[in-house]
Structure 1
Amino acid sequence: MLDLVSSGRLEIATGGWVMTDEANVHLYAMLDQLIEGHQWLSNILGVRPVSGWSVDPFGHGAAVPYLLQESGVKATVVQRIHYAWKQWLAEQQLGDFQWRQVPGEYTEYTIKSVPIDDHNVKKKAELLLEQYGRTGSLYPHNVVLVPIGDDFRYDHASEWDQQYNSYQRLLTHINGDPKYHASIQFGTLKDYFAEVQNRMRDYPSLQGDFFVYSDIFSEGRPAYWSGYFTTRPYWKVLDRQLEASLRSAEILYTWAYAWAKQEGQARVVQLLEKDYEKLVRARRNLGLFQHHDAITGTSKAYVMHDYAIKLHEGLHDTLALAGEAAEALLLTPAAMAALDHRAAPLHHLHPDFERSTYERLPRKLPLAIPRDQPRLIVMFNSLGQRRYEVVKVLVTALAIRVTDEHGHEVPIQINPVWNDTGNGMAILSTQFELLFVADLPALSVITYSIHHTSRPTTDLRASVYSNNYAPAPDQNYSPPFEARDVLPGDIQLESDHLKLLFDGTTGMLRSITDKISGRVTQTAVRYAAYPSAQFKSGAYLFKPDPNAREPEEDVLAGAKPRLFIHSGPVASELSVMFGTVLMHTTRILHVTHQPLASAVYMENVFNLGARYNSSETPGFPPHFRETEMFMRIMTDIDNGAEPTFYTDQSGLHMQKRVRVQRIGIQGNYFPITSAAMIEDNGPGRRLTLLTDHAAGAAAWQQGWLEVMVERRTFYDDARGMGEGVTDQKRTVGRYWLLVEDTQGPEPVARLSLAAHHLANDLNYPTTQLINEGLDADQLNSGAHLITRPLPCPLHLMTLRTLPEPQYPSLLPSRTTLMIIQNQSPSCTTSASVSTCNGLADSPFPGTEFTLQVANMQKTSLTATSSKGPLATLPDLIVPHHRLRAVSLTFPQPPTPPPPAE
């Protein structure tokens, strides 16, 4: 293979770990799998890809081409775009990109394989030339790219010889006869693009993306591939959890490894080097799931099961690595020496939850609070800006208080924990939910302490209201919380900044009032479902049943909502349960910090895989079959008669969408990975919905914004999977809802600074660890990676220790890849952020690493080519909506050998 590659006869295109999906994949994972692939190719084969090949994803976005360009890829091939776009591009001869024929448009070489001999070579050659000529007519030049083969081909050695020998006969016949005026040769993508560039100097420029993909190969009617945007949300959530955990582990590992090298901590170095293999495995497990038949949810159930096992393995490994690295950074010198002496592992910081299998949601572990010393909570803020994080801890005592890293007491709230008795919900007397808001500096590991206290904490307990609580077991029992009845009429939650109005029957949000400006925005939340068209809506496709009695099913009709309200000094929230199918929670925070004070948190726990109970949720069809469930927010925002809305493109930037009514709701659903928004046509309001996982979203009517939450289809949609989707699991979806004043639509749509901050909060939550086995005085109160926060728009995408070239799966190198993204927030909105230091003339004003840095080089995004030295961080310029990569080398003085065990 090395000979074929070095001679140019074999070209490796794109070079990612997989051929990534382009709708559901978030920017971090999309780039991470590309880095992993490029690093492997560079280290093993000495190859840097210059051509891209993306022919199987179901639609194409703008993020992948940008990442390829910044990674050294000069040109790429795409295939699956809407059939109408193909027709238009052919008519206009806009051949700045290529695609191969789709199913139903066959050429001779894909129909059958017939041996070529002297008797049929002339006939076959002329037939082939005729079809090549038709393809060539679509472009302004005379170069045609003809891929030889398809999926699941070349899996037998004999086929390589058969194809080569047959084509060689055809090429010899055509090239040897001048009457054909043609020259055909074997080549690679690089050869093809070189020929095109010799003939063309100026290329037309297209903006936007190619969603939604549509084909017409079945029944001659358009079929829209918009179902997979949402299919199997449980897996999509699991994917993002690993993404966040891996990113945190990468940063902590790099920090701890460089620190240990510089401080001569030989044993820590040894432990981290041993665990590097786990980090690589997690990268590859995450990278594998970005495949266009994995994160899309479009593989058979047993294959999806295997994917999830790998994601769960990655989560386990990265959380363990984060704990080890954080412990190394926080241990006092005396504690470190004691552990070294005992040769003890760094296994004292653990997640505060357990998750035995991927199929179970994380379960919080109750913490006992001893009287003689505090219980430590260790938190890692992986963002380059200061953040305020709402921390939830399950505790076994009510008499507690919390202090920060400086020993200052912080406001807390104690909520009840509920248990379903079958005769109503009862409040547990042995477990309680502790809430507080942690103030976390940029790129820091910080400890908070939970202390036992003798003073009364009654005023810290939430006020509790419910329409479904069980009475006390006896009159002598004094419950820790007094639950009151929910009064008839609408329900109101209020903070210093916001007033939320809810429907008193359904528990659903109706309006949001900004108390500072007095602005009222109608925000009616509704859950409903589209009935699926059998055999035409499945894992890939989305199509509502045109023969259904109603276009939408009111799936919650007839249900008896159970309402639970908690209100205290930190937060107020309303949760509503509809049987075992849905629990919807809305929360506001009693804080002054922006944007948390002005945003509304929403959380859905849904389970269409639950046991069907018609008495609980009579609005659902039997066994939840053929159900496409969505959450819709109906507002009074005027976003046009043909509604316009905006969706994010893999977290890179926003894309404008305008409803096209004639193609139905299925053609107007678009992918989001983190954000969707609508706004008034002129100066007015903007509503932004931020999400923690990929889904489909639409704005079907003026003022509406909806997001699909789950799909259950019993029938295959004839696009390759061969089965329906019936393996739904109990899934948690998290959202922020933000209403802002705006000056009106911008020429280029951008999220506000507040929205970016909240999106980062969802995408990269704080890593929360608990201390088991160490005394409180054995850990320092905090550690900091940088001297000052990064400016608001700049996001640290990764700080990734690259592999040793000779052992790319086993050992870390001395090189670290840092990637910075300029998220380029809008300046036309009113919402503010109180945790970062604003826009500055210098991208990094006064920001330095607390570690020594020996060398910095600007590089391609995948660190396979250098772009020159970088003297200091302030010299790094990151343009709007762009990413920039820097290779860092930390000085590593000789490390003494570890003590003998």
Structure 2
Amino acid sequence: AAGYATNHIIMTFGDDFNFENADEYFKNLDKLIKYVNAQQANGSNVNVFYSTSSCYLYALNKADRSWKSKTDDFFPYAHHPHGFWTGYFSSRAAFKRYERHANNILQVTRHLNAFANTNARNTLFPLSEAMGVAQHHDALSGTEKQAVAFDYAQRLSEGIQVAEGVINQAYAKLLPKDSQSPPIQFQFLCQLSNISQCLGIEGQERFTVTLWNPLIHQVTQHIRVPVRTDYTVRDPTGDTLFTELVPISQAVQNIPGRTSLTQKQIIFKATLPALGFNTYYFEKKPDQEKNEKSSVKITHNDECTLKNQHLRVDFDDQGNLHQIVNLDKNTGVQFKSQGFYWYQSFAGNNSRPEFQASGAYIFRPLSSDSQPVSTTRSITCIKAESVQTAIVTFNNWASQEISLYDGGEHVEVEWTVGPIPINDNIGKEIILRYDTDIQSQSKYYTDANGREVLERKRDYRPTWNYTAVETVSGNYYPVNSRIWIKDEDQQFTVLTDRTQGGASIADGSVELMIHRRLFYDDGLDVGEILNETAYGEGLVVRGKHILFIQPPAASALYHRVASQSLYMHPLATFAIIPQTYDSYAAAYRQTWSALTDTLPLNVHLLTFEQLAPQIYRIRVEHYFELNEDETYSHPVTFDLQSLFKSIGQISEFTELTLAANLPLTDLKRLTWLSSEQESSHMFVPEQNAATNTAIRLIPMQIRTFKVIVQ
């Protein structure tokens, strides 16, 4: 027991696809326990018995000793020097995004169900269940067989269909004005909007777009709607909005499976109320108005500068990104290079560590040098008043649209990759890389769970001596929401719209793996190669990176707030409208918010769910870390009642554990003593009276409540 801190030794039992004959294995275990313990009569001090992880932990707690505290994590994990389990951070990139998209819909539907008092929680269960199943360690990770991946996606799809019904029930209550009973406007989701396709509105004379903002703060975003022709768009007050028609890129139009012939999209700026909705009314423009000269300017293969009130982005006529300048802070980042690269996957038979193949779990490149996907590229520069975009095309399967929005304080990179060519029988791991002039000194920073961020250092582990063998995959970490590099003057932050593997393989460089198509299984029980296809060819994946250039001390304010908006973005539903605008406006609300008070910027509503009539489950979080922002990294207090203004008065509320399965006052946690003589004892506050609904949150704290409303 030299490797254990006490005389308690745990022997775990179980494995994927093993020990399935329970009768046989438990009989053998019974015999093993019996004969080992029989040796006690001969002086043995070994006592073996069936146990659980809880019992083992309890025994350690009673050992009356101090324990080392660990503040780093276990990533990246490897089972031998060439077997780093860093491929699954990026495997099945489309499903990783679909799961996050489905969660966005689930949380919005829970909001609508609660505020409309539709009591449809049980109806929504298929989506809740599908989301729960998708959290399995072989689901979201992409380490399942293809047939199983299809099943996970189908469950989410069927759950979203159910959610659409609940959304309609809720809007049937929220949209009609008081004392009015107009016809119910059927709301539908356009789930292919990420490829600029919404067949339900194509060619329609009139339709509405209703946007629900799931955040408890007002948000301003630019909304894109794919259309065949131009429309007049009215905001909730009836005013005609400034809109522009911008082209849909050829790369998007060519995506396999896209059946829409739409080549343009309307773009407009929408400011949405906190925890509420706005409806925008679209009406076809008369023919004479459609022929008005467009103010959108388009150039091909010329130098291109995108510029708004806060940022400037410069490209040369070859499509190379040269710099991003923060005009407010008079600082900027130079780019040595930026674009798509690929690693050749190692081909092996897994018989020995040195023959380890790259697969769904394992990322193992043949060489530490990544290759550009193309030696040339073309650039199309589109300048409108709402948005300026550089479309950079590398080849017929890799392109990016780099956009700067009016008033925006970040740069948006929308990438499209696939079908990855495999006619050369070589597996390919595709990365999007940003090579800057930042002096990062081998350090980079990744989030552990969408919230807390850890410092990483190339070819280094903080708690043991590490010898680098795999110099690329051994430096990859999971990037759930953000990665950054910094020096004394500036920080370059990249936000992701899904989990991706990321690294800084050279100083000043950030790379994120966005797609994989492989030829070998890595021998870790998937039993299939990772080769996703659709419509008879390799899968196309699209996604977004959000880029910030800020001084390090100011960066948290930007990336924290933007990450919340990216994770819980407004949900658009569409409806075909027979009425004129005046008739529609007379019968339906066009804006509504659950809130009348302005809530603190550093508070996020994590869960708002109606459990039964007048009973709700709430989770709130402080989403800033300690010491990362001068203003917002401090404790904050707000009134829980402010979330219920539209529902009623809180008559009773109970604080629960995070999992919401136990009142917090009933939680009896074990107390541990660290080797620094610090105690883990957690102070549990007394239950508040229902009259005092003030909630205090410290940085990174999540609090969970069951609330009963009169």
TM range (shorter): 0.7 to 0.9
Q: Give the Cα–Cα distance (whole angstroms) in 2 for the partners of residues 141 and 828 of structure 1.
A: 39
**Worse overlay, 245-254 or 520-529:** 520-529
Separation (CA, whole Å) in 2 of partners of 1:329 and 1:822: 29
Match of 1:856 in 2: 653
Residue 364 (structure 1) aligned with residue 171 (structure 2): no
CA distance in 2, matches of 1:236, 1:350: 23
Select 2:406's aligned residue among 590, 596, 600: 590
The within-5 A match list for 1:555-574 is: 555-557=373-375, 561-574=377-390
Displacement after TM superposition at 1:828 (Å): 6.0
2:518 is aligned to 713
Distance in 2 (alpha carbons) for counterparts of 1:882 and 1:708: 31
Matches within 5 A, 1:380-529: 380-398=212-230, 400-417=231-248, 432-451=264-283, 456=289, 461-467=294-300, 486-487=301-302, 490-505=303-318, 507-523=319-335, 524-529=337-342
Q: Which letter does structure 2 place at the counterpart of 1:200?
A: D
> Which residue does the alignment assign to 2:458?
659
Which amino acid counterpart does residue 105 of structure 2 have in structure 1?
Answer: S
- 1:215-254 counterparts in 2 under 5 A? 215-216=79-80, 221-254=81-114
Q: Indicate how the Cα distance of structure 1 residues 754 and 743 shifts in structure 2: closer, same or farther if over 3 A, else same.
A: closer
Counterpart selection for 1:348 from 186, 199, 203: 186
Picking from 808, 822, 834, the partner of 2:622 is 822
* Structure-2 separation of matches of 1:552 and 1:709: 14
Give the corresponding residue for 1:617: none
Residue number in structure 2 paired with 1:736: 546
Q: Pick from 462, 480, 485: which aligns with 1:678?
A: 485
5+ residue gaps in structure 2?
255-259, 349-356, 461-467, 533-537, 665-686
Cα distance in structure 2, aligned partners of 1:331 and 1:800: 23
Aligned ranges for residues 135-174 of structure 1 at < 5 Å?
A: 136-153=1-18, 155-156=20-21, 158-159=23-24, 161-170=26-35, 172-174=37-39
The question of whether the paired residues in 2 share the 8 Å contact of 1:740 and 1:829 is answered with: no
Per-residue Cα deviation, 1:423-466 (whole angstroms, up to 9, x for no partner)? xxxxx997631111110111012212234566957788352425
Matched, 1:779 2:591: no
Structure with higher helix content: 1
- Report what 2:443 is aligned to: 644
How far the C-alpha of 1:315 sits from its partner, in A, is 2.8
Q: Please state how far the C-alpha of 1:154 moved relative to its aligned partner.
A: 5.0
Aligned to 2:607: 798
Q: Distance in 2 between matches of 1:235 and 1:795?
A: 26
Identify if the C-alpha distance between structure 1 residues 564 and 241 changes in structure 2 by more than 3 Å, giving closer, same or farther.
same
How far, CA to CA, are the matches of 1:513 and 1:875 in structure 2? 43
Q: Measure the CA separation in 2 of the matches of 1:843 and 1:208.
A: 32
Equivalent residue number for residue 133 of structure 2: 288
Query: How far does residue 705 in structure 1 lie from its aligned partner after superposition?
Result: 0.8
> Does the 8 Å CA contact 1:608/1:712 hold for their aligned counterparts?
no
3-state SS of paired residue (2:338): strand
Report the 3-state secondary structure (helix = DSSP H, G, I; strand = E; otherwise coil) of the residue aligned with 2:698. Answer: coil
SS of equivalent to 2:62: helix
Number of aligned residue pairs: give it.
652
SS in 2 for 1:363: coil
SS in 2 for 1:735: strand
Cα separation, 2, equivalents of 1:418 and 1:530 = 27
Is 1:633 equivalent to 2:434 in the alignment? yes
Asked whether the 8 Å contact 1:412–1:569 carries over to 2, the reply is no
The C-alpha deviation readout for 1:217-236, integer Å capped at 9, x for no partner, is xxxx4421111111111111
CA contact (8 A) 1:443 1:785 kept: yes
Give SS of 1:511's match.
strand
Deviations 1:455-506 (A, max 9, x none): 9577883524254xxxxxxxxxxxxxxxxxx43xx3211212221111321x
Distance 1:723 1:362, change over 3 A: farther
Q: AA paired with 2:213?
A: N
State how 1:803-814 maps to structure 2 within 5 Å. Answer: 812=612, 814=614
Q: Which has the larger radius of gyration?
A: 1
| 1:512–1:520 Cα contact (<8 Å) kept | yes
Counterparts of 2:605 and 2:151, CA distance in 1: 31
- 2:692, 2:433 → 1: CA distance? 44
Indicate how the Cα distance of structure 1 residues 255 and 537 shifts in structure 2: closer, same or farther if over 3 A, else same.
same
Query: C-alpha root-mean-square deviation of aligned residues, in Å?
Result: 3.0
**Which whole-Å CA distance do the structure 2 matches of 1:761 and 1:841 have between them?**
20
In structure 2, which of residues 352, 356, 363 is the aligned counterpart of residue 542 of structure 1?
Answer: 363
- Displacement of 1:718: 1.5
- Separation in structure 1 between the aligned mates of residue 693 and residue 64 of structure 2, nearest angstrom: 40
Match of 2:637, as an amino acid? S
Q: Tell me the equivalent position of 1:890.
A: 709
Cross-structure match for 1:577: 393
Contact 1:230 1:709 in 2 (8 A): yes
CA distance in structure 2 between the aligned counterparts of 1:330 and 1:793, rounded to whole angstroms: 30
> Which TM-score applies when normalising by structure 1?
0.68
| Separation (CA, whole Å) in 2 of partners of 1:143 and 1:673 | 36
Question: 1:577: Cα distance to partner?
Answer: 2.7
Aligned partner of residue 90 in structure 2, secondary structure = coil
Asked if 1:206 is matched to 2:70, the reply is yes
Task: Among all aligned residue pairs of Structure 1 and Structure 2, give the percentage whose two residues are the same amino acid.
Answer: 21
Matches of 2:156 and 2:425 in 1, distance apart? 27
Structure 1 pair 870/364, CA: closer, same or farther in 2 (3 Å)?
A: farther
Residues 786-824 of structure 1 show CA distances to partners (whole Å, capped at 9, x for unaligned) of 22232111111111233xxxxxxxxx5653211111111
Whole-angstrom distance in 1 between the partners of 2:195 and 2:290: 31
> Which runs of structure 2 are paired with 1:608-627 in the superposition (5 Å)?
608-609=419-420, 612=421, 622-623=423-424, 625-627=426-428
Q: 1:540-594: per-residue Cα shift (whole Å, max 9, x none)?
A: 1111114xxx822222125xx4433221111111112344312200000112xxx
SS at 1:137's partner residue?
A: coil
Give 1:319 deviation, angstroms. Answer: 3.5
Deviates most, 226-235 or 578-587:
578-587
Tell me whether 1:326 sits opposite 2:131 in the alignment: no
Write the distance in 2 (CA, Å) between the matches of 1:391 and 1:232: 28
What is the aligned counterpart of 2:556 among 747, 752, 765?
A: 752
Q: Which residue, out of 139, 145, 153, partners 1:300?
A: 145
How far did residue 184 of structure 1 move?
2.8
Q: Is the 8 A contact 2:515 2:541 kept in 1?
A: no
> Aligned partners of 1:870 and 1:601: how far apart in 2?
47
Query: 1:191, CA displacement in angstroms?
Result: 2.2
Q: How many angstroms apart in 2 are the aligned matches of 1:599 and 1:158?
A: 60
Give the SS at the match of 2:415.
Answer: strand
Q: Helix, strand or coil: the match of 1:351?
A: coil
Instruction: Tell whether the 8 Å contact from 2:317 to 2:379 is kept in structure 1 after alignment.
Output: no
CA distance, structure 1, for counterparts of residue 191 and residue 138 of structure 2: 30
Shift of residue 311 of structure 1?
2.2
For the 8 Å contact 1:461–1:568, the answer to whether it is kept is no
C-alpha deviation, 1:394, in angstroms: 2.4
Q: Distance in 2 between matches of 1:430 and 1:539?
A: 36
Counterpart CA distance in 2 for 1:755 and 1:458 is 41
Rounded to whole Å, the distance in 2 between the matches of 1:646 and 1:534 is: 31
Question: Equivalent residue of 1:202, what SS?
Answer: coil
Q: Aligned in 2, Cα 1:847/1:871: closer, same or farther, shift over 3 Å?
A: same
Q: How much does 1:872 deviate? A: 5.9
Mapped contact 1:324–1:347 kept (Cα < 8 A): no
- Please show how residues 102-117 of structure 1 align to structure 2 within 5 Å: none
Query: In structure 1, what is the Cα distance between the partners aligned to 2:508 and 2:37?
Result: 64
